[in-house]
Each structure stands twice: as structure tokens, then as C-alpha cells.
Amino acid sequence: MRVAVVTGASRGIGKACAKRLAADGDIVVINYSHSEEQAQAVLDDIRENGGDGMLFCADVSKLDEVKAMMRATIQAYSQIDILVNNAGIVKDAYLLMLDPKNLDYCMDVNVKGYFYCAQQATLKMFRKKKGVIINMSSVSAQMALAGQSVYNATKGAVNAMTKTMAKELAPYGIRVNAIAPGFIETEMIDALSDEMRAEYLKSIPLGRFGKAEEVASLVSLLCSDRMAYMTGQILVLDGGLSL
């Protein structure tokens, strides 16, 4: 039995990851910060399909709340085997219109939140000398997209921290990798106009948006023993967008 903590798991990619890991037989801790009803629906779906887990409301940008989440997980299940660092926010703005408050908020959630969760999960993984951390990055980290300088910077930081974490934690049996999705069918894509969707599709060689379940499948693979020799890598899943 493995225990997985998935942050930002009430919707989108996090939801798909939680459901896939549960289908793999893992107990899943579903983290959310605001959407309790949506998070509960994810847990209900997992249980209806024979899985198990629990909810935990925590703002990952707050270290005390992250510590409480990891303590609660240990109290409930005695171990943490997988962390999927997925919680994140997007506050697009051109450089000259950048709001310092949004800059701080993005850095707090997208960068500090990943550090806090990785640090606290690692402290629990040390007991078994084994664990997997998956950091959710973005293809935006390697593409210059107007208006996304802050988001790009945070995801570039995720890529850099992934490599360093992997090197530091390898001697303790903990593997760290990142996934960099391209345009994935989530609420953000659904909110686009038909014209904007068509414009984005033109830039994707495979001619379609990715599915959250496809990201979750890669998470599942990276967490498995089939990938036991892979660490410190950033895997791009973007339909060829970045080519």
C-alpha cells in the first residue's frame, strides 16, 4: 500500500492525478484550498470505485498549514510515499502592468508552496528510504509567451528545483521528476472563446488539446517501479507545441 498526497486535487490535472493514483491502488490525500464541494466529489468518486483517501484543506503557501497536512497524513496512514506538487495559480500580466501583490502571490503558491510540500513530505519519506515527488511544471517554462513572465518564471524555478532536489534526495531513495504539460483541457481552456481555442490549436502539431487523464497517466508511470531509475528529469507533454 502506498499513500499519495496530491495538492490542488479538487479539479483539473490534480483531480485526474488523484483519481488515477487511487485506481492504481494508492490511498490519496486530496488537498484543496477553497473548493471543498469539488474536493469531496473527487473523494466520493474514488470511494465509489473501490479506493480510499481523505480531504485536507491547506494553503500550500503557508508552511504551518503544509506541516499540519503532512502530520494528519502520518496520523491517518503512518506513511507518505508519493507527493504530487500540483497546486498553482496563473495571474497573467504584461511586464509594465505587473501588480506586485500578484507577483508575491504567484511566487508564494507556485514556488514556495512546492518547496514547503517537498520539504515536509521528504521528512516523512526518510523513514522508509523511498519516495516519489512529482512537480507539475509547464511548457511555459521554456516558451516565451507574452503576458506570462511571472508564470514562466515560477515554472522555470520548478524545473531548476526539481533537478537539485533530485540530486540531494537520491541517496535517500527519493526520486524527483517534473512534468511540463502544454495546453490541457481544463476549466481554463473551456473558458476560452472559440476563436482563441482555434488559434491555440494551430500551434499544436498533434492538432488537439491534451487531456488531464494523459498527464495523470504519466504521473502514474513516474510513480511506478518501471521508472525506478529516472530522477531529475522534466518530461514535456505538449502535443509537439514546443518543437
pLDDT digits (tens, 9 = 90+) for 15-73: 999 999 999 999 999 999 998 999 999 999 999 999 999 999 999 999 999 999 999 99
Residue 9 CA to residue 7 CA, distance in Å, equals 5
Residue 139 CA to residue 68 CA, distance in Å, equals 32
Q: Is 61 helix (H, G, I), strand (E, B) or coil?
A: coil
Of 103, 106, 164, give the one whose Cα is nearest residue 135: 164
Judge whether 106 and 33 are in contact, CB under 8 Å: no
Q: Per 3-state DSSP, what percentage of the chain is helix, strand, and coil (rounded to 5)? A: 50, 15, 35
Question: What does DSSP say about strands 53-57 and 131-136: parallel, antiparallel, or unpaired?
Answer: unpaired
Confidence of residue 186 (pLDDT cuts 50, 70, 90): confident
For the chain, the average pLDDT equals 94
Amino acid at 144: A
Set 77, 151, 172, 200: catalytic member: 151
Of 186, 180, 226, give the one whose Cα is nearest residue 24: 226
Q: DSSP E strands: which ranges in 58-161?
A: 82-85, 131-136
Position 176 pLDDT exceeds 90: yes
Which pLDDT belongs to residue 147?
Answer: 67
Compute, in degrees rounded to 10, the torsion defined by CA atoms 133, 137, 142, 148.
-150
Position 93 pLDDT exceeds 80: no
Confidence of residue 97 (pLDDT cuts 50, 70, 90): confident
pLDDT digits (tens, 9 = 90+) for 110-133: 999 999 999 999 999 998 999 999
Which pLDDT belongs to residue 94?
Answer: 77
Which pLDDT belongs to residue 80?
Answer: 98
What is the assigned CATH class of domain 3-185+212-236? alpha beta
Q: Catalytic annotation on 151?
A: yes
Q: What is the pTM of this model?
A: 0.95
